[in-house]
Structure formats: C-alpha cells, structure tokens
C-alpha cells in the first residue's frame, strides 16, 4: 500500500515536471518567434544595406544564427550591428518586445533616430547601450534612466542630441557605471542637476557640448567616480572644493571652459589615484597649490592658457615621480625655471611657453629627467647660455627657447642629440658659429635661429641632416657663400637667409630642392645672375607631412622702414604682442600678422610660392623660366642691377599677388600679359627705364602712380596720358586730267540759280532747327543747373563730389532689370527730390539709403555709398556685375548701379515694410511700430536663414556677409524676410585698401568674440550675428542696451538667464501677450519659442567650431514647422 502511494506520487511528480518542461519549451518557441518578428520589423526600416549584413535575416533560418544576434536559452539577448554602414530612418519600437535583450550596439551607422521617443522604447532589462555615431537626433528624455533602470553602460557620443539637460536625468542611475554623451549639442545648465544615487558611476564624459552653469558640488556623491570628463563646454564658476572628496578619481578634465577662481587645495589633498588633471583654457587665477605634491601617480598636468601667477612651487615635483607631461603655457608664472624637474624620471614634455620665467636654464635638468623629449620655454625672460648638459637628455626631439635673452654660443654638444628634430631659438643674443656638429642630428627638421648674432660661414656638415625642412638664419652676421650642398636637401620647404653678409652667386643647385616653396635671400651681398633653373624648380615632389604641426606666422612689413616683404616665424606658444617688445622689430612698420596652423602657402606644393631676392647686387635679366613657377604668389627683385625687359611669361603667374622689381635698370614695355594677373594687389616698377603705355586692362591702371614713378618713358593711367605724333597723315594728291572739254568749261546760268535757291532754302531750315535745339538745350541746361544745385541745397541729406564729371545728368544707370533700361542719374535726382532729407529712409556703415518714386509710380531704394579714398572703378564694376547676378527669394535684389564723379549709387528693389529693426524696436519718424506675432517672427527667422544660407553655400562666389543685423533684414509686402547689404563689405574692402579690417567686421552687439582677436571674418561669424537676430525676435530687445544689460549685451544677458534656470524670462512679454488660441495651442507655441532659444544658443556659442552652419540652422528651423503648415517658408 505504501509502495503504491509512493509510485503514484512519483508518477504525478514526473507528469508535472514533464508538463512544465513542455510548457516552457512551447513558450520559448513562441518567444523566439516573437523576437524574430520584432527584428524583421526593424529590418524593414533599413533603406540601404551595402554590406548585406541583414540578407540572412529570414524566417526560414534560426534567428539565433542571424548576423549580429546572440541568444541565451533560446532568446535574443544581444544585437550588435556596429560599423555595418546601414542607412535608414529607424525607431526602437521593435525592440520593446525583446524582453530578454541586455545589450544593443548600433554604433557607426547612418541612421536617423528620434532620441526623444526611441530611447523610451528600449526594453526594461537592457544593460548595455552603444549608440555612438549612430545618427541620434533630439532630446535626452528626462525619464530615460527611470525607464531602463538596469543600464550599466550607455554611450551616445558623437550624435546630434540637443535641448536642455533635464534636471532629473541623473536620478535612477543606481546601476550605471559608464555614461558618455560627448560631442553632441546638449545645452542647459549643469548647476541644477540632481545627482544622488550614483555610487556605481565610474566614467562620466560630457565633453564637446554647450552645457553651461557652475559645477555642482553633488558630484562628490559619486564616490566611485574614476573619470570626470567635461571639456569644451561653457561651464563657469569655481571648481568645488568638494571635488577633493572624489578619492577614486583618476582623470579630471575641465579644460576649454570658462571656469574662474583658484584651484582648490582640497583637490590635491586626496589625489592618490589621480593620473591626469587637465584645467587648460579657462580663466583660473591664483597660484599652483603645493598640495599637488600628494598626487604621486600623476602623469599629465595641464594648466595651460589660464591666468595663474606666482612662482612654480619647486617642492611639487619632488614627489611626482610618475609625471610625464607638464603643460603650463600662456600663464603669468614668474620666478626661476624649476630645477626640481630633474626629480621627474619619466618626464617627457615640458612646456613653459609665454610666461614670465627669469634666470638661467638649470644645467642639471637632464641629470634625472633623461626621458625628456620636448623642452619648450619660448616667450619668457630667461638669460644666460644654453646648457651643454642638455645633450644628456638623449631622447630630446624639440628644444624651443625663442624670444628670450639667452647669450653665449650654441653648444656643440647638441650634435649628440641623435633624436633632435627641432632646434628653435630665434630672437635671442646667441653668438659665434653655427656648430658643424649639428650635422650629426640626422632627424633634424627645423633649424630656426634667426635674429641672433651668429657669425661665420654656414657649415657644409649641416647638410648631412638630409631631413631638414625649415632653415631660418635671417638677421644674423653670417658671411661667405651660400653652400651648393643645399641642393641635397630634397625635403627643404623654407629657406630664409635674409639680412646677413652672404656673398657670391645664388647656387643653381637650389633648384634641386624639390620641396622648396619659400626662398628669402634679401639684403645680402649676392652678385651674378639669377639662375634660370630656379624657375624650373618642381615642388610637386614635396611630401605632404612637411611643416605639419608647426604654427606659422607671416610678419608682413609695411613701408620702407625694414627691408624685404616680411618673414616667416615659428610661433607656437608665443603672444603676438611680444613682437612689439623686440628691438629689431620695433623700428619696422609691420601691422599685419597672418597666422594659422599651416598657411595657405603650403597647400599645393607645386613650385616656389615666395621668392625675395631684393637688396643684393644681382645683374642680368629676369629669367623667362620664372613664368613656369605657376604657384608663385610673391616675387620681389627690387634694389638690384637687373636689366633687359620684363619677361612676357610672367603674365602666366595667375596666383601672383606681389611683384616688386623697383630700383633696377629694366627697359622696354610692361607686358600686356600682366593684364591677366587678377590677384595682383601690389606692384612696384618705379625707378627703372621702362617705356610705353601702362596696360589699361586688369589691375595695373588701378594702382597708385608712385609704383610707376621715375620711368621717364612710361605713360598712361595712373600716370599722364600718352602723347602721339600725328604728322603722318594720308597724303592727298588729286590728279588733273588736263584741259576740260569746252562743253564742261561753261556752266549755264539758269542751273546755277536753281542750285543756289535750293541751298538757301536748306540753310534757312537748318538755322531754324539749330535755333530750336539751342533754345531747348538752354532750357535743359538751366533745369540741369537747378537740379544739380538742389543736390547741394540745405534740404539735401548728403554732400556730393561730382564737379569733375562733364555731363553728370546724362549718365545712364547700368541695370539688371529690363524695365529700368533707360534710367538716368537725372531721373534719380528727380525721383528723390534732389536726394532730400525727406526721401532718406536709412543710413548705415556703407552709406545712406533713399526712397525714389519713378515716373511710372514704382518705387526703388537708392544706396549712396560712402566716399572712398581711392577710385577702383574696375573693381566697382566687377563687383556690381557679380552682385547683380545673385538672385534668391530671400535676398534684396540689386537692380542697377552708376558712378557719378566720386559718387557710387546702387539701385535696389524697395521693401514695403522696411527693416526688421524698425518693426521690432520702432522708428516713429518712419512708421508706427506694431507687435509681430509668433507666426510672423518664425517666418522672418526662416526667411533670413535661407537668404544667408544661400550666400554661404549656394552662391558663386560664396559670400560672407560680415554685417548681419536686424536693420539688414528687410521685409517685403508679404512680410517675407530679405537679406540686404550682402557683398557690401567685400565691395568696400576691394575699393578702399586704407580701411581697417575692423571697420568691415560688423556692428557692435552682433560681432562674434573671435573678431576682436583676429578681425578675420568667417561664415561662422555670420552664424553668430544671425543668432543675435534670433534673440531680437525672441526677446524684443536691442543687442546693446545699457539700461537692460548694464556692462554686458543681449547675448550675455540671455546666457546668464539660462544659466540661472530663468529661460522663460527672456521671452518678449509683448510676444506672449499676442500669443492667442487654445491653452494647448499656446503651450505648443511657448515650447516652440524655447526650442528656437536652444537653436539660438548654438548659434551664439563662444567657440566658432561649435556653431552650426547656416545649412544646419535652416534644417533645424524646418524641423520645427508644424505638419499642417503650408506657409511660404515651409519648404
């Protein structure tokens, strides 16, 4: 009985287990089918699969064997399609049913994914999410981590995530260890983030965004944090002392922000784990904390580009035995060069550039730091000799001591540095010979020793260093001949030997330098003829890596106070203002510095691009072969004894911008081929023996007369007119046929009478006609005098200079519209009532604008340009013909132009509603101000964006506006925005070279911050100015208003409000008052305003590289158009 019960119980148990297993298998089979269906739904969204990675995703195959799929217990647990080059607009909705999915990797594909919705469609159990370079667009949802609380690893880097960082986004991250949101366009303040349950967080990277605000002290709650990486944002405020509580921290990178205050000493009190500390490119002040001596594992310390002061604490380095990189450039660190560097056994890089260090270079640096590779200390006040003991740093690659007060000789021991690549010590007081031992430095690339007191010959042993790319020995006391062995240096790109006492001939072997693009031999004692082979020098063999990594600056000499066109300098780590303190440069009238990582001179590597042989004793002819140097931009041969004619072949140098052959003995004509040199901005042929007419075509006749002076036989504009002898007239030798017949000898009297009568009648009619014409002309002249007088009348709004014009009223207006073909200057005067003040509707930096009502009732706008210091008629007409062809719906079209005397007039289509500035801010004298509603403001923003986008990306040539502002956004009768004054800055700069670049770089309040440093106008600068216009539309405020903003401006005020979390306070209250509709519609409009503000903040970012292009701006504004919109700007 007992046995039977046991048997029944066993059978029952077996049946239950079997039933459970069958049910589990049945359920599992069903689930894998569901997983497959979900994956196939995702596959349908893929528009292009070039590698065919999804071709095997088919129902007839086991999904667990599909490409990129990992399964466990018969369920899909991981999907990895990284770097598959897939294309498509996808969502994550198919993944929501993959309830066993724990890992998803879609990185490095070309998707378009709406992050705002898709990130909330991920399965609950997901642990690893890798979506870098995947095409995410939109916001990071506030509930993202709450929806996926099991996430351990999240990488959303290098996408286009935008919007404010949600205040609660960092809640619910109990399990999160790795979070990377780097290089997106995330905005908003970091100050208000709630960071609480982050004990598991190890890695946080938000670099390369637009996050603002001060660093929250609550980061100290993340006690396990090892890497906190926040560079390239707009963070402000001080570094919280509580960061010292992050005892596990290994990397801290807060560089390229706007941090202020001192470095907290607490940061060094508990940094036993810290290996990398980067605080560069901020506004940090104070001294370097001595507590850093506790960071005994520190490998990288970068405090560059701040305002740190005081001496470098020597005691710090005693304990930093692991330190490899020490970067302190561009601070105000004073005192002696730290001798304790010798304690850093692993140190590879030292950079003290642009500080205030003084004293000698410690001779025992290399006694301990034998691993040193880079030693940079330019732009300081170091003195004394270069220590010979530096040769003990056997790994040294770079030595840079430029702009100091070093003296003595260059140690011959430096020749033992077999790894040396750069020896840079320009602008010191070094003397003696160049050591021949440097020829043992086989890896030497740059030898830059200009502006010292070096003497003797250039050692031929130097040319054993066959990798030399840049040799600059300018402004020393070198003598002897230029060695022929230079021809061995096939990698040599820059050779500067100017302002020495070199003699002999220019070696023809220089033509063998197949990479040479810059040759400056000016101000020596060179003689003989110019080697024709130089013209056949072929730079096409130059290697692409030449001069890479160098920071180059071309110092352009202006005037005659210094010889030569200028000089090329290695400018890494040097302040431009320091040049003004160099005695030998202070006497030079140099006002132009052209800089960049690599100048445009080194982009093509075809032939020589810069050649200066001036101030020597060269004779003979200019070689015809120079016409083969097709990349030549600067050719200076002045102050020699050259003779013969200027070669016609030089007219083939299409890139030539500067040609100076003055003070020679050149003869013959200026070649007609010079008319083709369209880039020529400076030519000087004065003090020669040239004859003939200056070519009237091209640039030559537009240049100053002084550049042709003292050539007695030269004539034509801009010199006096050429005189011609007209003594060879066609001879008239009428032949007589002898005696006429008797019948021709006597004319009948009656025929004479008839002829006489006819002649008298004709004469009478002619007299009457002439009298009528004269009377009409007299009346016209009187009217013309009256009309011209009206221009100078008291009611006229401007002054005129047209006295030299013979018949100004009859001058035609060159037009681009058929209906204006017969328009004359007199009609413009009549249409504006003598350009009266009543007809003036605006004025700006480029001139006054008048409304002209023509006889047919139509209206045009006439811009009278500012009067310029030079004529430039050809440039004016060329620019006008270019601008007249530019047509776009959102640009104000140029209808015509004319030149009268010294005045230039442009005729534009008249815009009925005036400018956006008048519409927003009011101008009672012109029209009553009215409040623009939100739809109108959006339409204006989109229209202006399209117009500027066309100029930047579609117009040929591409045009940078340079003065984008609300007064240059005009509104037509349909309230469509039209960008005006495009091309004006380009035109004015072409006509008047005396104007400073700063006067052409915009209007206060609209000027991007970088223009105040370089005055270099860029398309990203236009984007900043457009962003200010968007702010005007959103806030209703002017860009500069002392009453509203105090010492800041509109951009600074808005950024401050956003940092404080008060973004809605910047929205124009009048705009909100006219925002009508249902509560839902009003809320939607307010959301749009906030979204516009986000786009605007991207446009006005302080870093140009972070600003979007206008193409991207147009795309972002287009995304905000409601689906039911059918406005004119919806496209």
701 and 678 Cβ atoms separated by less than 8 Å? no
On whether 822 is known to bind a ligand per the annotation, the reply is no
Does 520 participate in catalysis according to the annotation?
no
CA distance 663 to 681: 19
Q: What is the H or E stretch that residue 785 is in?
A: helix 749-791
Cβ burial, residue 282 (10 Å; 0-12/13-18/19+): buried
Which of 667, 669, 623, 631 lies closest to 649, judged by CA?
623
Q: Given phi > 0 = left and psi -120 to 50 = alpha, else beta, which region is 372?
A: beta
- What secondary structure letter does DSSP report for 321? T
- In angstroms, the Cα distances linking 112 to 78, 90, 115, 131, 144 are 21, 6, 9, 12, 19
Tokens 């031999």 belong to which residue? 521
Which tokens in the block code for residue 878?
């060329």
| Residues 92/119, Cβ–Cβ less than 8 Å | yes
Instruction: In whole angstroms, give the CA distance from residue 187 to residue 754.
Output: 101
C-alpha angle 35/40/46, rounded to 5°? 140
CA atoms within 13 A on the CB side of 891: 22
Query: Which CA distances in Å does 877 have to 416, 883, 897, 984?
Result: 63, 10, 9, 13
User: 15 Cβ partners below 8 Å, 6+ apart?
Assistant: none
Residue reference for tokens 């390369």: 208
Asked if the bond preceding 623 is cis, omega within 30° of 0, the reply is no
Q: What is the dihedral of CA 328, 330, 334, 335, to 10 degrees?
A: 50
Chain centroid to CA 484: 41
Please give the DSSP secondary-structure letter assigned to residue 1047.
T
Whether residue 677 contacts residue 654, with contact meaning beta carbons closer than 8 Å, is answered with yes
Tokens standing for residue 754: 């008839």
Helix, strand or coil for residue 896?
strand
The DSSP 8-state label assigned to residue 263 in this structure reads: P
In degrees and rounded to multiples of 5, residue 371 shows phi and psi of -90, 5
Spatial neighbors of 121 by CB under 8 A, at least 6 apart, are 91, 92, 93, 95, 96
How far is the C-alpha of 351 from the C-alpha of 908, rounded, in Å? 56
CA atoms within 13 A on the CB side of 351: 20
Q: What is the DSSP string of 542-597?
A: --TTTTTT--EEEEEE-SSSSSSSEEEEE-TT--GGGGGG-HHHHTS-EEEEEEES
Q: Please, what is the Cα angle at 328 between 183 and 208, to 5 degrees?
A: 5
Q: What is the CA radius of gyration of the chain?
A: 39
Burial class (CB in 10 A: 0-12, 13-18, 19+), 380: buried
Tell me if residue 205 falls in helix, strand or coil.
strand
- Identified catalytic residue from 684, 963, 981, 1101: 963
3-state helix, strand, coil in the chain (%, to 5): 30, 20, 45
Of 98, 113, 150, which is closest to residue 129 (Cα–Cα)?
A: 150
- The SS3 call for residue 439 is helix
Cβ-Cβ contacts under 8 Å for 165 (sequence gap 6 or more): 140, 186, 187, 188, 189, 190, 193, 211
Residues of the binding site for ATP: 864
Catalytic residues: 963
């Amino acid at each position: 009985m007992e046995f039977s019960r046991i048997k029944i119980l066993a059978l029952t148990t077996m049946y239950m287990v079997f039933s459970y297993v069958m049910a589990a298998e049945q359920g599992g089979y069903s689930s894998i089918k569901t997983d497959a269906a979900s994956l196939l739904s995702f596959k349908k969204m893929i528009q292009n699969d070039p590698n065919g990675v999804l071709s095997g995703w088919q129902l007839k195959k086991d999904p667990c064997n599909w490409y990129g799929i990992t399964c466990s217990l018969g369920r899909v647990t991981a999907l990895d399609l990284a770097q598959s080059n897939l294309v498509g607009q996808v969502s994550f909705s198919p993944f929501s049913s993959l309830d066993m999915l724990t890992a998803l990797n879609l990185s490095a594909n070309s998707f378009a994914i709406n992050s705002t919705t898709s990130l909330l469609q991920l399965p609950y159990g997901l642990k690893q999410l890798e979506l870098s370079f995947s095409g995410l667009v939109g916001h990071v949802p506030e509930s993202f981590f709450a929806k996926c609380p099991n996430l351990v690893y999240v990488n959303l880097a290098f996408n286009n995530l935008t919007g404010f960082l949600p205040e609660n986004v960092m809640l619910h991250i109990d399990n999160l260890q790795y979070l990377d949101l780097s290089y997106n366009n995330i905005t908003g303040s970091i100050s208000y983030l709630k960071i609480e349950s982050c004990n598991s967080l190890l890695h946080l990277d938000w670099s390369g965004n637009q996050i603002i605000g001060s660093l929250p002290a609550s980061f100290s709650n993340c006690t396990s944090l090892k890497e906190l990486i926040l560079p390239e944002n707009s963070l402000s405020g001080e570094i919280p002392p509580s960061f010292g509580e992050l005892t596990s921290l290994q990397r801290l990178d807060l560089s390229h922000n706007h941090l202020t205050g001192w470095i907290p000493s607490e940061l060094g009190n508990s940094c036993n784990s810290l290996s990398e500390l980067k605080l560069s490119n901020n506004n940090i002040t104070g001294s370097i904390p001595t507590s850093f001596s506790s960071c005994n594992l520190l490998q990288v310390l970068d405090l560059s580009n701040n305002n740190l002061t005081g001496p470098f604490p020597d005691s710090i380095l005693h304990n930093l035995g692991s330190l490899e990189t020490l970067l302190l450039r561009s601070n105000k660190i004073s005192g002696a060069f730290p001798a304790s560097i010798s304690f850093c056994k692993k140190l590879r890089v030292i950079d003290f550039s642009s500080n205030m260090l003084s004293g000698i270079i410690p001779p025992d640096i290399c006694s301990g730091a034998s691993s040193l590779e880079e030693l940079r200390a330019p732009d300081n006040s170091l003195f004394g000799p270069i220590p010979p003991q530096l040769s003990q740093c056997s790994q040294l690659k770079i030595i840079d001591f430029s702009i100091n007060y070093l003296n003595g000789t260059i140690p011959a021991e430096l020749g033992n540095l077999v790894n040396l690549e750069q020896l840079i010590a320009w602008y010191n007081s070094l003397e003696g010979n160049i050591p021949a031992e440097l020829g043992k430095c086989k890896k030497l690339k740059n030898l830059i020793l200009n502006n010292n007191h070096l003497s003797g010959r250039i050692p031929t042993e130097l040319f054993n260093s066959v990798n030399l790319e840049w040799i600059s020995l300018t402004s020393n006391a070198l003598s002897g001949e230029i060695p022929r062995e230079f021809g061995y240096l096939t990698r040599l790109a820059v050779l500067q030997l100017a302002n020495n006492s070199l003699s002999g001939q220019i070696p023809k072997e220089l033509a063998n330098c197949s990479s040479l693009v810059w040759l400056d031999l000016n101000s020596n004692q060179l003689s003989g003829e110019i080697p024709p082979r130089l013209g056949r020098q072929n730079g096409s063999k130059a290697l692409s890596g030449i001069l890479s990594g160098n920071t180059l600056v071309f110092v352009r000499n202006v005037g005659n106070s210094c010889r030569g066109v200028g000089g090329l300098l290695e400018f890494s780590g040097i302040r431009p203002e320091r040049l003004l303190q160099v005695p030998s440069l202070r006497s030079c009238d140099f006002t132009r510095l052209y800089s960049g990582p690599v100048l445009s001179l080194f982009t093509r590597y075809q032939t020589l691009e810069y050649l200066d042989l001036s101030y020597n004793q060269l004779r003979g002819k200019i070689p015809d072969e120079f016409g083969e140097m097709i990349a030549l931009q600067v050719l200076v041969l002045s102050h020699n004894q050259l003779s013969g004619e200027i070669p016609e072949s030089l007219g083939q140098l299409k890139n030539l911008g500067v040609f100076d052959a003055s003070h020679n003995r050149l003869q013959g004509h200026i070649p007609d081929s010079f008319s083709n040199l369209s880039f020529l901005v400076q030519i000087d042929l004065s003090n020669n023996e040239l004859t003939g007419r200056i070519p009237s075509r091209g640039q030559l006749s537009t240049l100053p007369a002084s550049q042709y002076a003292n050539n007695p036989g030269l004539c034509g504009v801009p010199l006096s007119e050429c005189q011609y002898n007209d003594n060879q007239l066609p001879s008239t030798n009428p032949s007589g046929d002898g005696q006429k017949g008797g019948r021709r000898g006597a004319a009948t009297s009656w025929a004479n009478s008839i002829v006489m009568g006819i002649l008298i009648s004709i004469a009478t009619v002619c007299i009457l006609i002439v009298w009528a014409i004269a009377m009409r002309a007299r009346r016209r002249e009187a009217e013309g005098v009256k009309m011209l007088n009206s221009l100078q009348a008291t009611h006229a709004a401007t002054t005129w200079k047209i006295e030299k014009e013979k018949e100004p009223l009859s001058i035609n207006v060159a037009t681009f519209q058929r209906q204006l073909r017969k328009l004359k200057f007199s009609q413009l005067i009549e249409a504006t009532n003598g350009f009266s003040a009543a007809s003036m509707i605006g004025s700006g930096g480029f001139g006054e604008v008048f409304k002209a009502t023509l006889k047919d009732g139509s209206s045009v706008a006439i811009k009278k340009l500012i009067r310029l210091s030079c004529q430039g008629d050809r440039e004016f007409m060329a620019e006008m013909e270019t601008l007249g062809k530019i047509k776009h719906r959102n640009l104000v079209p140029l209808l015509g132009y004319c030149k009268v005397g010294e005045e230039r007039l442009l005729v534009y289509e008249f815009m009925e509603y005036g400018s956006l500035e008048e519409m927003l801010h009011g101008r009672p004298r012109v029209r009553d101000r009215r409040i623009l509603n939100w739809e109108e403001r959006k339409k204006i923003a989109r229209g202006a964006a399209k117009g500027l986008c066309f100029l930047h990306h579609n117009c040929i040539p591409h045009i940078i506006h340079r003065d984008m502002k609300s007064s240059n956004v005009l509104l037509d009768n349909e309230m469509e925005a039209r960008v005006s004054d495009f091309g004006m800055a380009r035109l004015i700069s072409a006509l008047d070279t005396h104007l400073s670049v700063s006067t052409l770089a915009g209007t206060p309040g609209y000027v991007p911050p970088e223009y105040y440093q370089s005055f270099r106008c860029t398309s990203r600068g236009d984007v900043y100015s457009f962003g200010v216009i968007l702010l005007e539309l959103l806030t209703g405020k002017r860009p500069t208003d002392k009453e509203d903003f105090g010492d800041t401006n509109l951009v600074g005020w808005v950024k401050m409000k956003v940092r404080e979390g008060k973004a809605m306070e910047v929205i124009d209250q009048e705009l909100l008052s006219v925002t009508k509709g249902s509560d839902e519609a009003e809320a939607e409009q307010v959301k749009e305003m906030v979204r516009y503000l986000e786009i605007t903040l991207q446009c006005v970012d302080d870093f140009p590289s972070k600003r979007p292009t206008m193409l991207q701006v147009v795309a972002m504004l287009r995304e905000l158009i409601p689906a039911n919109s059918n406005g004119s700007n919806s496209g």
